[in-house]
Amino acid sequence: MKFKKLIPIFSVIILAFVLRFWDFGVNPAGVYVDEASLGYNAFSLLKTGQDEYGQSWPIFLRSFGTYQSALYSYLSILFIKIIGLSNVGIRALSLVSGLILVALIYFSLGPIEALIIAISPVFVFFSRSAFESNLALSIFMSGLLLSIKAKNRPSLLFFGLPLLSFSAYAYHAERFLSLFFLFFFFLSYFFSLKKNRRQLILASILALSIQLPLLLISLKSGTNARLLALLYHQNGNGFLGFVKNYLVYLSPNNLFSRPDPDLQRSFPDLSVFYWWMFPLLIIGLIKIYQNRQNLKWQDKIMFLLLFVAILPGAITKEYFSTLRVLPMFIPLAWIIAQGWKNFFKHKTKPSLFLVFLACLQLYSALVLLKHERSVNWGYSYKNLVDKLSLIKDSPIVVDNTRLKPLYILFAFYQKYDPKFIQQWHGSAHLADYYDYAEFTSKQKLKNIEFRPIFWQEDIYKEQYLVGDSLSISDEQALEHKLKIIDSIKNSTGQEVLRIFKTNPAEKCQSSTKGQKSKHCLSLVN
Partner 1 sequence: MKKTILFLLIFILFVFSFLNTKLNDLDVIQINQRRTYYPALLGKLYQNKWTKKFSLTRQKLFSYLDWQQK
- Give the binding site for partner 1 (CB under 8 A): 7, 11, 14-15, 18-19, 22-23, 244, 247-248, 250-254, 256-258, 268-269, 275, 278, 348-349, 352, 355-356, 359-360, 363-364, 367-368, 371-372, 492-493
Q: Between residues 256 and 381, which has the closer beta carbon with respect to partner 1?
A: 256
Q: Between residues 33 and 255, which has the closer beta carbon with respect to partner 1?
A: 255
Distances (CA, A) of 367 to 23, 129, 269: 10, 16, 12
- Min dist CB 314 to partner 1, Å, is 11
Q: How far apart are CA 450 and CA 361, in angstroms?
A: 40
Asked if 20 and 14 count as a contact pair (C-beta separation under 8 A), the reply is no
- Min dist CB 89 to partner 1, Å, is 23
Distances (CA, A) of 262 to 45, 136, 206, 252: 30, 20, 38, 18
Q: Between residues 213 and 261, which has the closer beta carbon with respect to partner 1?
A: 261
Q: How far apart are CA 429 and CA 58, in angstroms?
A: 14
Q: Between residues 230 and 355, which has the closer beta carbon with respect to partner 1?
A: 355
Q: Closest by alpha carbon to 456, among 377, 396, 393, 511?
A: 511
Q: Between residues 23 and 262, which has the closer beta carbon with respect to partner 1?
A: 23
Q: How far apart are CA 291 and CA 341, in angstroms?
A: 14
- Min dist CB 486 to partner 1, Å, is 22
- Min dist CB 383 to partner 1, Å, is 18
How many degrees, rounded to 5, is the angle at CA 323 between CA 416 and CA 299? 135
Q: Between residues 158 and 242, which has the closer beta carbon with respect to partner 1?
A: 242
Q: Between residues 269 and 523, which has the closer beta carbon with respect to partner 1?
A: 269
Q: Closest by alpha carbon to 126, among 117, 139, 113, 115?
A: 117
Asked if 409 and 33 count as a contact pair (C-beta separation under 8 A), the reply is yes
Q: What is the DSSP string of 250-265?
A: G-HHHHHTSPPSSTTS
Maximum separation of any 2 CA atoms in the chain, in Å: 93
- Min dist CB 246 to partner 1, Å, is 9
- Min dist CB 258 to partner 1, Å, is 7
Q: Closest by alpha carbon to 370, among 14, 23, 21?
A: 23
- Min dist CB 110 to partner 1, Å, is 17
Q: How far apart are CA 118 and CA 120, in angstroms?
A: 6
Q: Between residues 238 and 493, which has the closer beta carbon with respect to partner 1?
A: 493
Distances (CA, A) of 493 to 142, 379, 399, 490: 44, 12, 21, 5
- Min dist CB 22 to partner 1, Å, is 4
- Min dist CB 271 to partner 1, Å, is 9
- Min dist CB 247 to partner 1, Å, is 4
DSSP classification of residue 445: E
DSSP classification of residue 50: B
Amino acid at 2: K
Q: Between residues 13 and 477, which has the closer beta carbon with respect to partner 1?
A: 13
Asked if 156 and 146 count as a contact pair (C-beta separation under 8 A), the reply is yes
Q: Between residues 269 and 516, which has the closer beta carbon with respect to partner 1?
A: 269
